[in-house]
Chain A
């Protein structure tokens, strides 16, 4: 941890390439785990665990959930290692530990790999090999398929890459039941279809950042108008997908009502984005904010109904 400060002949290198980890504290390593993303993963995986038939010992369930969270965090650290160069030029990500020069990129890679192995092994011990395998696949998909391959090569990056963020409820479901049936994939579908409008709304008002970094996000490659149309189209499909838990027994009529209402608001927000002028970023910001609430609310209602015993 007391790395020699490399400066000779490296004057042109970015700060993160000349970093020493001497000043890095535990909180900097924790920041590598993308805590905010991790909290969403914990929540959706927990809903998957609660919704799954059967049950498991509470402590085993807690360890399984902890493993899923650590696995998600590990993939975040590996993503930050791989994307250090683009994080450094984007305003939104420039304060991350690697571009800030607090943690060396190879250390983040080692940290992420170590935690990945630990998380998968612990999940296998606490639950079953299917859940552990799905967690390993999630990490692989996020790091290799999304970060290393898709992110810099296609505007469909977050569409396909969204699968990684959508898998946690399936992992949670598998941890409890040892299976991954249609119901689990309904939860997957909601997050998968939610990802494009969520990230493209963000990209609409941070397109300059992505352009500077050379990331082919939809607004950068296809332009604002096309992105707005696609956001609207995905919002229609998402609103429909948001209702499906009711039809597979994951929600009661309360869920049906809430999902219909939230879906209608989502479509209305997306319509606002579609009709706004190119320089008006407010509708996109509103949609971005609402999209977070939308996903949280749908899963929260499902969770509340389950905990209240309304699903039998």
Chain B
């Protein structure tokens, strides 16, 4: 892990170093997976809790 006290590329310009880019990519993937998991859980919980009621309703 790089020492954050070391000057990063963002001090001189806005370009990221390869390591910073890699970390950003990892963070983005983690956020995407986290959101996908959250959506899947809410969907599954909704189906489980409401599914029966929906199936048994009268039209």
Chain A residues positioned under 8 Å from B42 (CB to CB): 122, 125
Given the known inter-chain contacts A2-B16, A5-B7, A102-B1, please indicate yes or no for A22 contacting B23, CB distance below 8 A: yes
- Answer whether A25 and B27 are a contact pair too, CB < 8 Å, given A2-B16, A7-B11, A101-B5: yes
Besides A29-B30, A122-B38, 20 new A-B residue pairs in contact (Cβ under 8 A), listed by A number: A3-B10, A5-B11, A19-B4, A20-B4, A20-B8, A22-B16, A22-B23, A23-B2, A23-B19, A25-B26, A25-B27, A26-B26, A26-B27, A26-B30, A60-B45, A60-B49, A63-B45, A66-B41, A126-B45, A126-B49
How many residues of chain B are within 8 Å of chain A by beta carbon? 27
Whose C-beta in chain A lies nearest to the C-beta of B37? A66
Cβ of A57 < 8 Å from any Cβ of B? yes
**Which 3 interchain pairs have the tightest Cβ spacing?**
A101-B4, A26-B30, A22-B20
Collect the chain A residues with CB atoms within 8 Å of residue B10's CB. 2-5, 20, 22
Determine the distance from Cα of A19 to Cα of B1 in the docked complex, in whole angstroms: 14
22 contacts between A and B (CB under 8 A): A1-B27, A2-B20, A5-B8, A5-B10, A15-B5, A18-B4, A19-B4, A22-B8, A22-B23, A23-B1, A23-B2, A24-B27, A29-B27, A59-B48, A60-B49, A100-B4, A101-B5, A118-B38, A122-B38, A125-B45, A125-B46, A126-B41
Judged by a CB distance under 8 angstroms, whether B36 is at the interface is no
Please determine whether A102 and B30 come into contact, CB atoms closer than 8 angstroms.
no
Closest Cβ–Cβ distance, residue B14 to chain A (whole Å): 8
Q: Compute how far the CA of A81 lies from the CA of B10 in the bound complex, rounded to whole angstroms.
A: 24
Known contacts: A60-B48, A101-B5, A122-B42. The answer to whether A23 contacts B11 by CB under 8 A is no
With contacts defined as CB atoms under 8 Å apart, how many contacts are there between chain A and chain B in the complex? Answer: 76
Complex CA distance for A78 and B41, rounded to whole angstroms: 24
Kindly report which residue of chain B lies nearest to residue A15, judged by CB atoms. Answer: B5
Contact residues in B for A25 (Cβ distance below 8 Å): 23, 26-27
Instruction: For the complex, give the distance between the alpha carbons of A268 and B23 in Å.
Output: 50
- Most chain A beta carbons < 10 A, residue from B1, B10, B29, B30: B1
Dominant secondary structure of chain B at its interface with chain A: helix
Closest partner residue, chain A, to B26 (CB atom)? A25
Shortest beta-carbon distance from B15 to chain A in Å: 10
Do the beta carbons of A63 and B44 come within 8 Å of each other?
A: yes
Q: What residues on A are CB-neighbors of B5 within 8 Å?
A: 15, 18, 101
In residues 30-67 of chain A, which contact B (Cβ within 8 Å)?
57, 59-60, 63, 66
Q: Given the known A-B contacts A63-B41, A122-B41, are A23 and B4 also in contact in the complex, defined by CB atoms under 8 Å?
A: yes
CA distance A25 to B30 in the complex (A): 9
A97–chain B nearest beta-carbon distance, Å? 10
Residues of A with C-beta under 8 A to B11: 5, 7
In Å, the complex CA distance between A5 and B2 comes to 15
Complex Cα distance A124/B49, Å? 12
Q: How close is A252's CB to chain B, nearest CB, in angstroms?
A: 33
Which residue in chain A gives the minimum CB-CB distance to B17? A22
A146–B44 CA distance with the chains assembled, in angstroms: 35
Q: How far is the CA of A63 from the CA of B39 in the complex (A)?
A: 12
Give Cα distance in the complex from A20 to B1, angstroms: 13
> What residues of chain B lie closer than 8 Å to A2, measured between beta carbons?
10, 14, 16, 20, 24
Q: Which of A125-166 contact B (CB under 8 A)?
A: 125-126
